[in-house]
Amino acid sequence: MNNSSLPADEQIHSHVSSPQQLISIFVALLGLTALTVSASTWPVGRFDVWIALGIAGVKAFLVAAYFMHLRYDKPTNSLLLLFSVGVVVLFLGVTLADVHQSEPQVQAAGLPQIPASEAAP
């Protein structure tokens, strides 16, 4: 069957990325990982979670755009991905900010604290 005889939505598209492009994205992901590790030592106070989540959001978008080929897909799918990653980052950030904000009240109430060694298996 000839590919051009199919409707536009059903045509087979090859998304061939050059090895140089994929290596560049991989190096960018490694750089962003190093930035995340470096950012953990910055004295930014309560913004440390937002910085880490922002970097994670950029990395998630790069992986989806280039390794999952969303860059070559319809723009609507990329916008949906960007919106979805943004919502997840926002929800996690607000949740972690709330936990951080309520920590003094938990300590003041004398509630038992779970040591970090017991919190995770």
Task: Please list the pLDDT of the chain residue by residue as tens digits (121 residues).
Answer: 455 666 666 666 665 678 888 899 999 999 999 999 999 888 887 788 888 888 998 998 888 888 888 888 888 887 888 888 788 888 888 888 787 777 777 677 776 666 655 554 5
User: What residue ranges do the domains of the chain occupy?
Assistant: 18-108
Cβ burial of 5 (10 Å; 0-12, 13-18, 19+) is exposed
What pLDDT is attached to residue 100?
A: 72
* pTM for this prediction: 0.62
pLDDT in tens, 42-69: 888 778 888 888 899 899 888 888 888 8
Phi first, then psi: give them for residue 56, nearest 5 degrees.
-65, -35
What pLDDT is attached to residue 48?
A: 82
Tell me how far apart the alpha carbons of residues 19 and 44 are, in angstroms, rounded to a whole number: 38
The dihedral of CA 87, 84, 55, 41: what is its sign? positive
Q: Per-residue b/e over 24-60, b at no fewer than 16 CB within 10 Å?
A: ebeeebeeeeeebeeeeeeeeeeebbbebbebbbbbb
The dihedral of CA 86, 90, 96, 97: what is its sign? positive
